[in-house]
Structure 1
Amino acid sequence: MKFIILLFLFSANLFATKQNDTPIIIKLAVTNSILSSYNKILEGKSWSELKTYTHPSMNRGVVEILLLHKAFEVSGLNIKFDFVIVPNHTRSIKYSKQINILMPTETVWLSSVEEEDFYISTPIISDGEYEKGVYVLKEKLSLYKIENLSDLKKLTAISSLDWTVDWRTLQLMDVNKQSTSHFESMMYMLKHGRADFLLLEFTSNDDLSREEYGVAIAPVSNIKIGLKGSRHFIVNKKHKESEFIYNALERGLKVLRDKGEIAKALRESGFQNKKTTNWIKIN
């Protein structure tokens, strides 16, 4: 009994220490494209000043950074993010196995991580919720008449072998495809006619369009692609604070989920988009 009391007092003291005015600085791996969008949306303001997830530059990656901020805040921890820029999403997972990097800012597919390396959060995006549009150059949108998978097979997709679920989805659809590791390169290949389309999340813009690296793209109307699997935040088990911070993250995510904040974020950002509810899933 004495041991249990001492353990409780030690844990309580540790929790109190973590909540003081001195922030816990954690390193998070982030791609340059997501960080650029994040900074563009903030425009020098604090994340806490944002009242909505609706913005022309909003995307899932930025939404997930904001959810991390909010989850840690409601958990009671004073956390400050130190972003470490990585070339792509796959590297963000690889770098997050290093001792000094706590986690990627993005959620990851459950199928792409091992529990021996990471603590895995409850789902942010559940199985069956992930849908993408067939995005083409906006200036050429009227040229694409795609109503079914047979029509899509006449075109060439640009994606990445590192985007394992996207790549597998394209394989199962038997679609012509090319791979590049960098998102900027995907935009370049679309712009210069080396590929016709790529699969991307929908946006909150009226026409669902988006601009990436100066290239305007928009989805072909009335069709969408479903991706199988769930996505989760992961925390590096090698990090000295990993278990404590993971538990705080889970507490915070539960609060956000219970009050509908996660659903609101996915809805307002356009990820779960009422405009595409009746679009045909062609795969």
Structure 2
Amino acid sequence: MLDKQPQQALVNRQLVVNEAMLRSSFGWVLRLLATTGVMWALSCSSAGAEEPVLVAVNYDLPADYHRFLRGRDPLNVNFFGGPSARRDVVEMVLLMQALNLGGFKRPIEIHVEPSYLRILRGVADGQFISSGALMWKADIDMLEAAYFVSRPVVKEGEFRVGIYTGAKNRNRLNAMPHSKLKNLNVVTSAQWQSDVQTLKRLGFKNITYSPNWVNMVRMIGAERAEITLAPFQTTPDMSITVDDVTLYPIKDVTVAISGSRHWPISRKHPQGKDFYTALERGLNQLEVKGIIQQAYRECGFFHPDVAQWTLLKPTIDTQPSPVKHLPN
């Protein structure tokens, strides 16, 4: 149970979960949050409070965000490791901290969306003020005029990931020459064009597409795919566990994904300009203090243990192709 703080502080400083959306589309997330008592803390509001602004996230983020916070105020987080620490969870915390430092005080409400593309479209249309996690600049550029674009938080060359596999294939693939990895069946999302283009440029030909991350993990667990790309974790063996399926990185190899990552902010949203101005002001303070680099190190995204591993980098060092279609 979260510590009870003054109601106005919760309105200004905690996230409000879009309860109706979770109940109708992702009831399991709502049930998880409700059983731990966090729904009260995240959805409470006070009379006369300012209308919240909507930030869109993928459906698997709210539960991990709650587990990561463990009752902490996101503005007071100064260690970014621990249970459920991962890149997009940490980015949600960094977003909250930057906005607060920049002077944006409206409450923020999480709205769950099932896909990356729907988040991009929703921000462009002004339905959401921004996304919770960073997005690829190449994808943002598809509708560049619709967004204010934050500074690059993950810069070109910094996005390095592991090649992950299941427990049954772990020993076999660890013994495989790196040159043979491109013959394996890799699963990714067609919406993640930066990943797709990187895999193709590295020579992977057996690419299977899945609609979301959870399904990718399940496919590897069921041996319908052998590998996927994923950020490194802070667990002792850098493993990832989702729905009782554990994935492990193939040792001594990393992959560089080309492109920079930013927050898109809606130009159509009435608070979009204020949100963008505050975010940029706050990001500058976080960068000066070294907090962004610290956060990515402590959550495992910038993992010190893989610094000497072999880096697979696409031969064509250009920006990846953007997503081809944004849904109406």
What TM-score do the two structures reach when normalised by structure 2? 0.76
2:187, 2:216 within 8 Å by CA — same for their partners in 1?
yes
Paired residues for 1:43-122 under 5 Å: 43-114=70-141, 115-122=144-151
Gaps of 5+ in 1: 1-17
Paired residues for 1:9-48 under 5 Å: 22=49, 25-48=52-75
Q: Distance in 2 between matches of 1:99 and 1:165?
A: 25
> Cα distance, 1:193 vs. partner?
0.6
> Cα distance, 1:146 vs. partner?
5.3
Q: 1:54 is matched by which residue type in structure 2? A: G
The residue that corresponds to 2:235 in the other structure is 205
The residue that corresponds to 1:165 in the other structure is 194
Paired residues for 1:129-208 under 5 Å: 129-145=158-174, 148-175=177-204, 176-208=206-238
- Matching residue within 233, 238, 241 for 2:263: 233
Q: Distance in 2 between matches of 1:239 and 1:138?
A: 46
Q: SS at 2:270's partner residue?
A: coil
Q: Aligned pair count?
A: 264
Paired residues for 1:3-14 under 5 Å: none
Q: 1:242 is matched by which residue type in structure 2? A: G
> Cα distance, 1:24 vs. partner?
5.9
The residue that corresponds to 1:13 in the other structure is none
Identity across aligned pairs (percent)?
A: 26
2:67, 2:83 within 8 Å by CA — same for their partners in 1?
no
Residue 157 (structure 2) pairs with residue 128 (structure 1): yes
The residue that corresponds to 2:306 in the other structure is 276
RMSD after superposition: 1.8
Q: Distance in 2 between matches of 1:167 and 1:134?
A: 13
Q: SS at 1:79's partner residue?
A: coil
Q: Distance in 2 between matches of 1:282 and 1:139?
A: 24
| Residues 249 and 61 of structure 1, relative CA distance in 2, 3 Å threshold | same
Gaps of 5+ in 2: 1-11, 13-47, 314-328
Q: Distance in 1 between matches of 2:251 and 2:303?
A: 13
The residue that corresponds to 1:12 in the other structure is none
2:178, 2:253 within 8 Å by CA — same for their partners in 1?
no
Residue 248 (structure 2) pairs with residue 221 (structure 1): no
> Cα distance, 1:267 vs. partner?
0.9
Q: 1:194 is matched by which residue type in structure 2? A: R
| Residues 217 and 116 of structure 1, relative CA distance in 2, 3 Å threshold | same
What TM-score do the two structures reach when normalised by structure 1? 0.88
The residue that corresponds to 1:14 in the other structure is none
Q: Distance in 1 between matches of 2:51 and 2:275?
A: 10
The farther-off stretch of 98-107 and 158-167 is 98-107
